Amino acid sequence: QVQLVQSGSELRKPGASVKVSCRASGYTFTSYPMNWVRQAPGQGLEWMGWINTYTGNPTYAQGFTGRFVFSLDTSVSTAYLQISSLKAEDTAVYYCTRVGSGSKWYFDLWGRGTLVTVSS
The binding site for other proteins (CB under 8 A) comprises 35, 37, 44-47, 49-50, 59, 61-62, 95, 97, 100-101, 104-108, 110-113
Residue number, 80 or 95, with CB nearest to other proteins: 95
- For 103, what's the count of Cα atoms within 13 Å in the CB-facing half-sphere? 0
Residue number, 44 or 66, with CB nearest to other proteins: 44
Nearest-10 Cα torsion for 19, 92, 68, 17: -40
Q: Tell me the residue type at 97.
A: T
Q: Supply the minimum distance, in Å, between the C-beta of residue 120 and other proteins.
A: 26
In angstroms, the CA 46 to CA 116 distance is: 15
CB neighbours of 106 closer than 8 A, spacing ≥ 6?
Answer: 99, 100
Q: Supply the minimum distance, in Å, between the C-beta of residue 110 and other proteins.
A: 4
In angstroms, the CA 100 to CA 108 distance is: 5
Contact between residue 66 and residue 40 where contact means Cβ atoms under 8 Å apart: no
Residue number, 14 or 26, with CB nearest to other proteins: 26
Q: Supply the minimum distance, in Å, between the C-beta of residue 59 and other proteins.
A: 7
Residue number, 17 or 38, with CB nearest to other proteins: 38
Q: Supply the minimum distance, in Å, between the C-beta of residue 113 and other proteins.
A: 5
